[in-house]
Amino acid sequence: MKIIVVGTGFVGLPHAAVLSEYGHEVYAYDIDEERIRAYQSGDRDQIERYVNEPGLVEAIEETIDRYLHFTTSLDDVIESTDIIFMCLPTPPKRDGSTDLRFYMNAAHYLGGLLAQRSDKKRVVLVNKSTVPVSTARQLQKVMEEHGVENYGVASNPEFLAQGSAVEGSRRPDRVVVGADTEEDFVLLRQVYSQFVNHVRIRYLETTPETAESIKYVANTLLLTYISFWNGVGARLGESYANIHMEDLKIGVTADERISTWGSYVSNGAGGSCFGKDIQSLIYQLNRSGRSTDLLQAVYNINEYQKTYMIDRAVYEANFNFNNKRVALLGLAFKKRTNDMRDSSALKAVESLLAKGVAEIRAYDPLAMDDAQRSWFSPDNNHLFERITYHGTAKKAIEGSDALYISTDWEEFRGLASTIEQAVEPPYLVIDGRRMIPDYDRLIAKGYDYLSVGSVLRRPQPEEMDEDHSNGQLNAGVGQKMKTA
């Protein structure tokens, strides 16, 4: 089939590469000329500057110029196209609604081109970006405005997670196709023929509105799971010394009706999707006059969780951040990515600066260049001059008064010995990701350890026992802190 993919970011590029693996003739289009040149070069560093996903460069190398073509103009390509996938950015506006500017600009460009076609062959415009319910109808209106003939609109949301986009495109758990006519379902079945009768992949055909909704409900439910564990399970573990979070998780999720995913308690979920999607869904439901109490609570719990551990350090460990040097380990929103969008580390930086720290000593295995280039640039705010960048976790820790672990990079699991080598106690380790299973050895040597989902662990247990009888610690702390 002849396929155009409009937009070559995190969604569009892996999708185009994987479609071309199945022998479709794929034209990946973007308005950004530099980006297209980078992809055409085939050079790993240049491609990964834009999208850094395991297996992506290899996938591009395999089919480039044979089945996969990159272009900044569709003028000579549009004739006889079967399918156009829309993979455009849909950022949030200030009020939480979705900014469809890029999407609609592309729709008008395509409408103009499609109206000029001489062959008038059936073409289906398929949306893959996360867009508000009924966006497919808006797309239809744009096509009508341009007088396009013989077209269909469809919704085919993507469910890829960062770090496994290529694998996720090759073997998704589901393919959801929302369309209006059998003719269009048939065309999409041809594109996805490898998935249609697959024994493990659910291939669902439904209306465009249902398909659009599936993406929002799925993402907000996932964030609800995370927020439930952060807002309930972790809170219990933080209140009673004898609760073991890992056992709590195993005991609860043994019930097959309860997901294990999301039970990994953390300093909040980040990334470009969850926050944006829940805000957009709240906006859409409010506009229909529906109440959104649950979603609002989930959003608030997650946002609060991003700075909660810093507040706990103040109220539970009596740590005064003023004029202190704090090592910040992990800037990306999760491991195996350099993406810092909506990352908990960004909120932590704001909170630490507001608390008057003298220095934030940052380290991340992948995100350092991006951090220095963009968000943390001193041009943005003179306070960011207090952020220094270090080549290893050990270097960041050296000379600091406290340490905050923000991202779940595997290398942080070995931090106990690094901390012992780098700094002397008294020293506070704040762990937003439960990355140090052998924290006992730190406490034995005089370090304080404060982890999400557990009570503060510090060297003199007998003193703690006197203060807090019945094994219940931290009672009353919640009164000083904003409770999530």
User: Which residues within the stretch 312-351 sit at the binding site for ligand UGA (CB under 6 A)?
Assistant: 333-334
**Does 237 sit near ligand UGA (CB under 6 A)?**
no
Q: How far is the CB of 274 from ligand UGA (least distance, A)?
A: 6
As measured in angstroms, the least distance from the Cβ of 262 to ligand UGA is: 4
With CB under 6 A as the contact rule, the residue among 271, 275, 330, 432 that binds ligand UGA is 271
Task: Please choose, out of 86-94, 203-211, 258-266, 279-287, the segment that lies near ligand UGA by the rule CB under 6 A.
Answer: 258-266
Member of 22, 102, 264, 283 binding ligand UGA (CB under 6 A): 264
By the 10 Å C-beta count (0-12 exposed, 13-18 middle, 19+ buried), 104 is classed as middle
Q: Shortest approach of ligand UGA to residue 83 CB, angstroms? A: 21
Torsional class of 356: left (φ above 0), alpha (ψ -120 to 50), beta (otherwise)? left
Q: Which is nearer to ligand UGA, 67 or 274 (CB)?
A: 274
Nearer of residues 114 and 273 to ligand UGA, judged by Cβ = 273
Distance between CA atoms of 19 and 63, rounded to whole angstroms?
10
d(CA 478, CA 46): 49
In the complex, least distance from residue 272 CB atom to ligand UGA, rounded to whole angstroms: 6
User: What is the CB neighbour count within 10 angstroms for residue 273?
Assistant: 21
Name which position in 23, 61, 149, 161 contacts ligand UGA (CB under 6 A). 161
User: For ligand UGA, which is the closer residue by CB, 302 or 400?
Assistant: 302
Q: Which residues contact 199 (CB under 8 A, 6 or more apart)?
A: none
Among 123, 273, 349, 393, binds ligand UGA (CB under 6 A): 273
User: Using the rule CB under 6 A, is 270 a contact of ligand UGA?
Assistant: yes
* CA nearest to 264, candidates 418, 407, 477, 158: 407
- Cis geometry, peptide bond prior to residue 91 (ω within 30 degrees of 0): no
Looking up tokens 């002849």, which residue turns up? 2
Cβ 7 vs Cβ 106: under 8 Å: yes
Q: Which of residues 111-130 bind ligand UGA (CB under 6 A)?
A: 130
Euclidean distance between CA atoms 98 and 100, whole angstroms: 6
Q: What DSSP character marks residue 251?
A: H
Q: Does 195 bind ligand UGA (CB under 6 A)?
A: no
Taking the complex as a whole, the smallest distance from the CB of residue 9 to ligand UGA amounts, in Å, to: 11
Minimum gap (Å) between residue 482 Cβ and ligand UGA: 20
Coil vs helix vs strand at 438: coil
C-beta atoms surrounding 144 within 10 Å: 11
- Which stretch, 46-54, 159-167, 179-187, 370-378, contacts ligand UGA (CB under 6 A)? 159-167
Tell me: does residue 160 bind ligand UGA (CB under 6 A): yes
Among 362, 328, 334, 217, CA closest to 271: 334
Cβ(316)–Cβ(474) below 8 Å:
yes
Count of residues of this chain found to bind ligand UGA when the rule CB under 6 A is applied:
21
- Binding flag, residue 222, ligand UGA (CB under 6 A): yes
Asked if 102 and 29 count as a contact pair (C-beta separation under 8 A), the reply is no
For ligand UGA, give the closer residue by CB, 161 or 217: 161
130 vs 279, beta carbon nearer ligand UGA: 130
Nearer to ligand UGA, 36 or 226 (CB): 226
Cβ proximity to ligand UGA, 226 vs 282, nearer residue: 226
Is residue 217 a contact residue for ligand UGA (CB under 6 A)?
A: no
Span from 79-87, 95-103, 260-268, 459-467 in contact with ligand UGA (CB under 6 A): 260-268
Burial of 461 (0-12, 13-18, 19+ CB in 10 A): exposed
Active-site entry in 16, 148, 154, 273: 273
**Region label for 320, one of left (φ > 0), alpha (ψ between -120 and 50) or beta (otherwise):** beta
Q: What is the DSSP letter of 401?
A: S
Q: Which is nearer to ligand UGA, 67 or 304 (CB)?
A: 304
CB 25 within 8 A of CB 3: yes
Examine residue 449 and tell whether it contacts ligand UGA (CB under 6 A). Answer: no
Cβ pair 430, 447 in contact under 8 A: no
Residue with tokens 């705010």: 381
Residue 262 binding ligand UGA, by CB under 6 A: yes
Active-site residue flag, 87: no
Tell which positions 394-433 bind ligand UGA, by CB under 6 A: 408
- Which is nearer to ligand UGA, 208 or 275 (by Cβ)? 275
Give the N- to C-terminal CA distance of the chain in Å, as an integer: 52
The span from the CA of 379 to the CA of 231, in Å, is 36
d(CA 115, CA 144): 10
From residue 442, alpha-carbon distances to 414, 428, 460 in Å are 12, 10, 13
Q: Which of 90, 129, 219, 280 binds ligand UGA (CB under 6 A)?
A: 219
Q: Classify 277 as helix, strand or coil.
A: helix
Q: Does 178 bind ligand UGA (CB under 6 A)?
A: no
The only residue of 18, 38, 86, 269 in contact with ligand UGA, by rule CB under 6 A: 269
Residues at the interface with ligand UGA (CB under 6 A): 130, 159-162, 219, 222, 226, 261-264, 266, 269-271, 273-274, 333-334, 408
Residues labelled catalytic: 273
